[in-house]
Amino acid sequence: MTRTDYPAGMDSVQPLTAQEFEQFRQLAHQTFGLDLKPGKEELVTARLRKLVRRGGFHRFQDYYRSVLQDRTGEGLRALIDALATNHTSFLREPDHFQFLRDRIIPDMGARETIEVWSAACSTGEEVWTLAMTLNEAAPGRRIRIAASDISGKALRWAQGGVYSPERCRSMPPAWLSRYFVAEGRPPLSYGVVPQLRAQVAFRRINLLESYSWEQSFPVIFCRNVMIYFDNATQQRVVDGLTHCLEPGGYLFVGHAESLTRITHSLEFVRPAVYRKAGRGRRWIR
C-alpha cells in the first residue's frame, strides 16, 4: 500500500494538533493578515484537509513543512485560496452603491474617466455591481475599474464573469437583461456582457505587501475583509489604501467594520464611508 492508497472511507490524515494550528495561525497572519483566533481549529482542518490529502501527507505538520519549502510559492497560494473567505453577493450593502450614484458621481463634475478600485473583489459580484452602477449613473463616461484580491481562485471566478441564476436573484431584472447574457433555456447561468468586461482589469494583490498604481483613485471599495484582521494589520491596510486615494476621495468599508480603533487621517462621512482630506482639481463644489 502506498502512502496515498487507503481503503475507501478511511481517513489517512491525523487530527490537527494545537501546535500545528498555531503554526498555520502564525503563517496566515504573517503572509496575508488573517487573524485565526482560538476556536477556529475545525475551520482550518476542514479547509486544509483536502490539500493535505492531495500532497499525500499523513499529518498537517508534513503539509505545513512542504508549504514553507516550496520555493515556487504555489503551495502558499493554494493555502491562501483555501483559508480566504470569499462570501459576497450582487448589490451587497446596497446603500453604498446608492451613495456612490447620488452623491459621489455628481460631485465628480465632468471628468472624462471615472476610476474605482475594488481592493478585495472576491468572486467579482462587487466589481460588476460597481460597473453597472457607474454605467447607469454616468452614461457615456469612460469607466475604469481596478479589481484585486489575494485569492487566485476567487480572481479566476471574478474574471470569468459567469454566475448561476441563484447568485443573480438580488439583481434588478433590468440590469440582468442589460448587462448579462443568459446561457441555456431556461438559463443555466448568466455571463457579463463584453462592454462591462472591457471596463475592468484584474490583478492579484496582497494588501500587506508592497503594491503601487499609476494613478490615485477617487473611490476605493475595501469591504468585509478587515473584519478578519487584528488592529495592527488594519492599520497597515488602511495606511496603504489612504495613500492610493486622491485628495477628496472616498473609502468604503463594510458595515461590520469600523476604523475607530486605529489611527488614520480620513474624515468620517457616514457609517462605513470615509473621505481623504483635501479636494483635487477634478472635484466640484
pLDDT of residue 85: 79
**Letter string b/e over residues 101-120, b meaning 16 or more CB atoms within 10 A of that residue's CB:** eeebbeebeebeebbbbbbb
pLDDT of 2 > 80? The answer is: no
Over residues 124-131, the mean pLDDT reads: 98
The identity of residue 188, as a single letter, is L
Over residues 203-229, the mean pLDDT reads: 95
CATH 1.10.155.10 domain extents, the chain? 18-83
pLDDT of residue 84: 84
Cell of 16: 490537527
Q: Which residues are catalytic?
A: 47, 149
What do you get for the CA distance between the two ends of the chain, in Å? 75
Over residues 169-175, the mean pLDDT reads: 95
Strand partners, 147: 118, 202
Closest alpha carbon to 116 in 94, 139, 141, 147: 147
pLDDT of 266 > 80? The answer is: yes
Over residues 127-138, the mean pLDDT reads: 97
Cell 471596463 identifies what position?
A: 199
pLDDT in tens, 181-212: 999 989 999 999 999 999 999 999 999 999 99
pLDDT of residue 158: 97
pLDDT of residue 127: 98
| Band of pLDDT at residue 284, cut at 50, 70 and 90 | low
Q: Which helix (H) or strand (E) holds 245?
A: strand 245-252
Q: Within its chain, how far is the Cα of 219 from the centroid?
A: 15
Over residues 20-42, the mean pLDDT reads: 93
pLDDT in tens, 70-117: 999 999 999 988 998 777 999 999 999 999 999 999 999 888 999 999
pLDDT of residue 86: 77
DSSP character at residue 124 = S
pLDDT of 276 > 60? The answer is: yes
Q: Which helix (H) or strand (E) holds 132?
A: helix 125-137
CB half-sphere exposure, 154, CA atoms < 13 A: 27
> CA 51, 55, 58, 64 torsion: positive or negative?
negative
CATH architecture of 94-275: 3-Layer(aba) Sandwich (3.40)
The identity of residue 91, as a single letter, is L
The identity of residue 139, as a single letter, is P
Q: Which helix (H) or strand (E) holds 145?
A: strand 142-149
CATH 3.40.50.150 domain extents, the chain? 94-275
Instruction: Decide: 180 and 160 in contact? Cβ < 8 Å.
Output: no
pLDDT of 137 > 50? The answer is: yes
DSSP character at residue 102 = I
| Band of pLDDT at residue 11, cut at 50, 70 and 90 | low
| Band of pLDDT at residue 67, cut at 50, 70 and 90 | very high
CATH 1.10.155.10 fits 18-83, yes or no: yes
Cell of 113: 474617466
Instruction: Decide: 88 and 126 in contact? Cβ < 8 Å.
Output: yes
Q: Please give the Cα distance from 213 to 271 (Å, whole number).
A: 27
Cis peptide before 186 (omega within 30 of 0): yes
Closest alpha carbon to 162 in 130, 198, 187, 135: 187
Percentage of residues of the chain with pLDDT beyond 90 = 85
pLDDT of 8 > 70? The answer is: no
In order of 112, 179, 268, 284, the CA distances from 195 in angstroms are 17, 8, 34, 28
Q: Average model confidence (pLDDT) for the chain? A: 92
Instruction: Decide: 263 and 255 in contact? Cβ < 8 Å.
Output: no
pLDDT of residue 281: 62
pLDDT in tens, 158-167: 999 999 999 9
